[in-house]
Amino acid sequence: MIKHKVRVKVPASTANLGPGFDALGMALNLHAWIDMEIAEETSFHWVGEQLKGIPVDKSNLIYQVAQMVFDYAGVSHPELRITMYSEIPLTRGLGSSASAIIGALAGANALIGGKLSQDELFQIATKLEKHPDNVGASLFGGIVVAFWDGSRAEYIRLEPDVHLEVLVAIPSFQLSTEKARNVLPQQITLQDAVYNLSHSSLLVAALSTGNLGMIKHAMKDRLHQQYRAALIPGMLEILERATDHGALGAALSGAGPTMLALFDSRNENKAELENFLKQTFMKESIEIELLWLKPSLEGVSVTNLTESSPELQDLFKGEVKA
């Protein structure tokens, strides 16, 4: 049965969690909403300032990904009305492009009655992103441990500890994943490889057993963060000293520039960690926004809309022109 209008809610995500480069992801309770409808003519409607400048023609990522789903399922729906509102800052390392891909996949699939399985959506999304960390988290929620071998992705989802909170410091500048990947070496030493696989394994064990005290030892990396440090002034100091200010551990969020600190909600001194992050970036003359987040247990979700459902424009801040 074809459903004609759906609303997708998709969480942001943080990738790597330090040592789990391209392998670990965690969904965060910051969201994007996409309404998708089979229409007579394609149109795009962005709600709020966040999405200003995103293409409003058929080159649009959400449109393109939706068409991939239709092709895959052997159906044709070339005209779509797409409306979107997002709280997820763009190009900051919080999985905005992964959330758009997952939102488009889930929305288009719902419009054709869910012909594709979750696994098929995960495989398509991973192929598009080339790593499963962000897309896995946005699709399944919680913490996702995954690999992609170039043809298939496999994953296990972990339930985040109930005490886990996340403080993100989002710099005002953007950093593309491409740029942050271009600074990485193509070869590393065996010693660094062992360092990362042991830390990443320990981190997964700590997260899955609720051994939060182990995170400060485990959340260390030699595969990507030090090479990216020049792109994010202040990062090395945060990685080194955040645990002295109450963090369970700290990492670059995905490819950056956002910095992420894990925190135990039973610790009442949030202000000390906030001040440390603020001051560290201030010394580098970098403006940041601090946000307290929680892991999102839920991944992408889809609801069917009816004539009487309020528009995203009514639920949020009104439409802007791209």
CB of 59 to ligand HSE, least distance (A): 21
65: tokens are 């990904």
Spatial distance between the Cα atoms of 84 and 46, rounded to a whole number of angstroms:
5
Which CB atom, from 21 or from 276, has the smaller least distance to ligand HSE?
21
CB of 270 to ligand HSE, least distance (A): 27
Angle, helix 118-129 to helix 96-111, in steps of 10 degrees: 140
CB of 276 to ligand HSE, least distance (A): 24
- Residue 13 CA, chain-centre distance (Å), reads 2
Which CB atom, from 116 or from 239, has the smaller least distance to ligand HSE?
239
Spatial distance between the Cα atoms of 6 and 109, rounded to a whole number of angstroms:
10
Which CB atom, from 94 or from 273, has the smaller least distance to ligand HSE?
94
CB of 155 to ligand HSE, least distance (A): 14
Answer yes or no: is 290 a known binding residue.
no
Which CB atom, from 111 or from 251, has the smaller least distance to ligand HSE?
251
Answer yes or no: is 89 a known binding residue.
yes
Answer yes or no: is 95 a known binding residue.
yes
Which CB atom, from 76 or from 182, has the smaller least distance to ligand HSE?
182
The CA distances from residue 114 to 1, 3, 66, 210, in Å, are: 9, 10, 13, 35
CB of 24 to ligand HSE, least distance (A): 9
Answer yes or no: is 254 a known binding residue.
no
CB of 72 to ligand HSE, least distance (A): 24
Answer yes or no: is 93 a known binding residue.
yes
Spatial distance between the Cα atoms of 26 and 100, rounded to a whole number of angstroms:
16
Where do contacts with ligand HSE occur on this chain (CB under 6 A)? Answer: 15-16, 21-22, 131, 133-134, 177, 180-181, 224, 254-255
Return the number of other C-beta atoms located less than 10 Å from residue 176's C-beta: 11
Which CB atom, from 28 or from 116, has the smaller least distance to ligand HSE?
28
Answer yes or no: is 92 a known binding residue.
yes
Which neighbouring-strand residues pair with 288? 171
277: tokens are 């992050």
132: tokens are 């499963």
Spatial distance between the Cα atoms of 66 and 53, rounded to a whole number of angstroms:
20
Answer yes or no: is 184 a known binding residue.
no
Nearest of 254, 248, 154 to residue 207 by alpha carbon:
248
Spatial distance between the Cα atoms of 112 and 72, rounded to a whole number of angstroms:
11
Answer yes or no: is 90 a known binding residue.
yes
Residues annotated as binding site? 89-99
Residues annotated as binding site for ATP? 89-99
